[in-house]
Amino acid sequence: MDIFIQLLINGILLGGAYAGLSVGLTLIFGVVRIVNFAHGEFLMIGMYATYLLVTQAGLNVYQSMLPVALLLFALGFGMQKLILQPIMNADPHMQIFATVGVSFTLMNVALLVFGANVVSTPNSVNAEPWSLAGLSILPGQVATLCVSLLGALALRIFLHRTFMGRALLAISQNRSAAALMGINIRFAYALAFGLGAACVGLVSATLTTQYPVFPTVGSYFVLVCFVVVVLGGLGSIAGSIAGAMIIGIVDSLAGFYVSTGLKEVVYFAIFILILAIRPAGLFGKDKGV
């Protein structure tokens, strides 16, 4: 039983990381209607940026959160403005190709600049696991979970309480009607893309306490994020948090009870099943077809 509770806690903490990454992905899809295949590379860049800020500028991991988030906001904003906006009305396949192309480019640029080596960010913050009633909890993971949830909460408040946020919601419900109401769609798209990337920025900084960074680190995470986001219903923030928790727990339990090598198989199988049976996700309203 103890081991089960420990696994459950591990799963939720892992889910915390997935949640922060997936919220950004789902926001971008909800507003811009693009599945951002370069999302994992945003994470990779965020982690390298944190690594540089910690080693070169002497900040600690949590102090680098804000600058990294700003950097990624700029990256996302620019990507939408420069690459995706010109092809917004093209065949949807072109948008997939574009984000895949950006992903491929960024990954290889990182390989060029940093090499294939795995680098760990030196951690100046206390990383000793807490022991609590026989359970062991890593403070870094708790921090990631908190950052993810607070980020999602802030995003929710922004979306529901501010004019610009409501404009984004309006666009996600009906593009043309929103445009008729005088919302600047182009700016809103870029803003949504930037915010989605900034969410990744916040989480990527905290993730450097748990994971080393290497050029393809994003591919691993992004696939899980796709699963999470589809599970929760693309475009739904609450859904993606729920999806992240489910996948975190499945990951943790399947890793123990099935096999470490097959845990991904378990949730990819869930993913394919969800796509086949209920493409709108467990909590989504839109059709995935």
Binding mask 228-247 for other proteins (x = CB under 8 A): --x-----------------
Crossing angle (nearest 10°) for helices 139-161 and 163-173: 90
Identify which of residues 82 and 125 has a Cβ nearer to other proteins in the complex: 82
Shortest gap between Cβ of 98 and other proteins (angstroms)?
5
Q: What letter does residue 132 receive in the DSSP assignment?
A: E
Closest-CA residue to 230 (of 191, 173, 268, 174): 268
Query: Distance (Å, rounded) from C-alpha 136 to C-alpha 5?
Result: 11
276 makes contact with other proteins (CB under 8 A): yes
Identify which of residues 15 and 215 has a Cβ nearer to other proteins in the complex: 215
Q: What residues between 111 and 140 interact with other proteins by CB under 8 A? A: 111-112, 115-116
Query: Distance (Å, rounded) from C-alpha 282 to C-alpha 234?
Result: 10
Crossing angle (nearest 10°) for helices 139-161 and 2-32: 30
On whether the CB atoms of residues 76 and 198 are closer than 8 A, the answer is: yes
Binds other proteins (CB under 8 A): choice among 103, 208, 209, 240: 103
On whether the CB atoms of residues 99 and 35 are closer than 8 A, the answer is: yes
Q: Residues touching other proteins: how many (CB under 8 A)? A: 50
Shortest gap between Cβ of 42 and other proteins (angstroms)?
15
Binding mask 61-100 for other proteins (x = CB under 8 A): ----------------------x--xx--xxxxx-xxx-x
Shortest gap between Cβ of 269 and other proteins (angstroms)?
7
What type of residue sits at position 116?
A
Query: Distance (Å, rounded) from C-alpha 27 to C-alpha 83?
Result: 18
Collapse the DSSP code of 130 into the 3-class scheme (helix H, G, I; strand E, B; otherwise coil) and give the result.
strand
Binds other proteins (CB under 8 A): choice among 14, 53, 110, 198: 110
Crossing angle (nearest 10°) for helices 237-257 and 263-277: 140
Shortest gap between Cβ of 58 and other proteins (angstroms)?
28
| Phi, psi dihedrals of residue 120, rounded to the nearest 5° | -105, 140
In this chain, which stretch among 56-64, 127-135, 183-191, 256-264 interacts with other proteins, using CB under 8 A?
Answer: 256-264
Query: Distance (Å, rounded) from C-alpha 21 to C-alpha 201?
Result: 9
Question: Which secondary-structure segment (H or E) carries 34?
Answer: none
Binding mask 34-53 for other proteins (x = CB under 8 A): xx-x----------------
Q: Is the dihedral of CA 4, 254, 153, 272 positive or negative?
A: negative
Shortest gap between Cβ of 244 and other proteins (angstroms)?
16
Token pair 């990294």: residue: 68
Identify which of residues 177 and 273 has a Cβ nearer to other proteins in the complex: 273
In this chain, which stretch among 157-165, 178-186, 200-208, 264-272 interacts with other proteins, using CB under 8 A?
Answer: 264-272
Binds other proteins (CB under 8 A): choice among 125, 154, 169, 265: 265
Write out the residues near other proteins by the rule CB under 8 A: 34-35, 37, 83, 86-87, 90-94, 96-98, 100-112, 115-116, 215, 219, 223, 226-227, 230, 259, 261-262, 264-265, 268-269, 271-273, 275-276, 279, 288-289
